[in-house]
Amino acid sequence: MPHIIDAFSRIGEENAFAVLARAAELQRQGKDVINLGIGQPDFATPPHVVEAAVKALRDGHHGYTPAAGIAPLREAVAADCLTRTGARVSPESVLITPGGKVTMFLAILMFGEPGAEIVYPDPGFPIYRSMIEFTGATPVPAPVLEANGFAFDAKDALARITPRTRLVILNSPANPTGGVAPGAEIDAFVAGLARFPEVAIMSDEIYGRLTYDGLEHRSLLAYPEIADRLIVLDGWSKTYAMTGWRLGWSVWPAAFFEAARKLAVNCWSCVNAPAQWAGLAALTGPQDAVEAMRAEFDRRRKLVVEGLNALPGISAVTPKGAFYAFPNVSRTGWKAKPLASALLERAGVATIGGPDFGVHGEGYIRLSYANSAENIARALARMGEFLATERPA
Ligand code: PLP
């Protein structure tokens, strides 16, 4: 029997997809399931973006494109970076990817190997740890704590850097907590990095356009002093409701760009052409749909936090970004994963158990409020009824 390499015994998963499949299965059986599990906007992609893809197909954009992406799209990403962050990003350093997730895959492959350490947020997007372990590198979790409003803690992250650290991963606004790194923490982090010139940084800014209460997202692109070792992960999925299009972009320092482009050539050749033309229309066209979606998420955010805090044993910090609430459920008497599972199976509400995002996620569940206000209200009512009547085994 042929053996696949050991690394596959260490690769992880993103449980949100398993929950999505289970929710679909329950729905097929005729159950009414409200899905607050998966993190994707419930809106349609703006019509002018869809039209641009249809036009691209009609205009004959059916072939391969350059591996790094079509030139106008790379230029549009660079222009968008300048407008939003003030950073002068060369289009040459922009890589178009099939989804934002691919950038973490490339960056972790590039810096992870046995003996290396990679610092990443915990609770955090599960693929960080999964890929770090896949490469044989040592995952070094940096706790993201409720006591700190789930905000990024620069001092703590810097204290985890050792001579073996090759990469530090940041994610703000954050999944699963909705935490946003205060500008002062980012300043302190970048200042502290001066002591560690060998360390690369990957900043996952996929939720950068989704902040609330007037809080500004601070992109690491705004710090020229780390530009020679900064990888920025971003994309269209969350901002333009384009999760299924599989379209992302990243910015790479000149020293690593070629390695990233070669991985692209070795793996996916290029991102599908019509999706790239759609991405161009999204970036260069009207942005009112982005603000309309953000405003609607904001409205639901308030509903979900208020509703959660009214439930017995549950308390929720108000998230400052993304579209997730990460309530503390430890006083319900339930462990987080059994609670998430029972809510899905018995109450028809899909959520994700906090431990799926790391050890520091125990005691929490993640709810995506990228669902209608009506469904959020129904889900909260079901959760209230469930908690009042059901006890853990
Ligand atoms: N980074 C974070 C923190 C995410 O939550 C997600 C998606 O859930 C991604 C990256 C990946 O986005 P994409 O769907 O564009 O691959």
pLDDT band of 109, cuts 50, 70, 90: very high
Quick one: pLDDT at residue 191?
98
- Per-residue pLDDT tens over the stretch 256-272: 999 999 999 999 999 99
> Ligand 1 center to residue 333 CA distance, Å?
31
Using a 6 Å CB cutoff, which residues line ligand 1?
39, 99-101, 125, 171, 175, 204, 206, 235, 237, 243, 248
Confidence of residue 391 (pLDDT cuts 50, 70, 90): confident
Domain 63-284 in this protein, CATH class: alpha beta
Q: What is the atom index within ligand 1 of the atom nearest the CA of 40? A: 8
Percent of the chain with pLDDT over 90: 96
Domain boundaries, the chain: 7-44+288-387, 63-284
Decide if 144 contacts 354 (C-beta within 8 A). Answer: no
6-15, 106-115, 171-180: lowest mean pLDDT where?
6-15
- 342 touches 307 (CB < 8 A): no
Q: What is the DSSP string of 174-215?
A: PTTT-----HHHHHHHHHHHTT-TT-EEEEE-TTTT-B-TTP
Cβ atoms within 10 Å, residue 13: 11
pLDDT reported for residue 393: 78
Q: How far is the CA of 206 from the centre of ligand 1 (A)?
A: 6
- Are the C-beta atoms of 118 and 169 separated by less than 8 Å? yes
How far is the C-alpha of 116 from the C-alpha of 46, rounded, in Å? 43
Instruction: Give the pLDDT score at 184.
Output: 96
Q: What share of the chain has pLDDT > 70, as a percent?
A: 100
312: confidence class by pLDDT, cuts 50, 70, 90? very high
Mean pLDDT of 193-219: 97
Does the predicted model carry a pTM greater than 0.85? yes
pLDDT in tens, 154-180: 999 999 999 999 999 999 999 999 999
Cα(393) to ligand 1 centroid in Å equals 34
Is 392's pLDDT higher than 90? Answer: no
Cα 382 to ligand 1 centre (Å) = 28
348-383 pLDDT, tens digit each: 999 999 999 999 999 999 999 999 999 999 999 999
Neighbours of 227 (CB within 10 A): 18
Alpha helices in 310-372 (DSSP H): 336-347
Which ligand 1 atom minimizes the distance to the CA of 235? 15
Mutate to test the pocket of ligand 1, among 45, 106, 238, 324 (most ligand atoms within 8 A of CB): 238
Average pLDDT score, the chain: 96
Residue 178 has a pLDDT of: 98
Reported as a single tens digit per residue, the pLDDT across 34-84 is 999 988 899 999 999 999 999 999 999 999 999 999 999 999 999 999 999
Q: Please report the beta strands in 79-128, taking only residues with DSSP state E, as ranges in sequence order.
A: 94-97, 117-122
Q: Kindly give the distance from the C-alpha atom of residue 389 to the centroid of ligand 1, in angstroms, as a whole number.
A: 36
Fold of 7-44+288-387: Aspartate Aminotransferase, domain 1 (3.90.1150)
What does the pLDDT average to over 81-101? 96
195 in Cβ contact with 228 (< 8 Å): no
For residue 126, cis peptide bond before it (omega within 30 degrees of 0): no
**pLDDT, position 38:** 86
**Relative to the CA of 243, which ligand 1 atom is closest?**
14
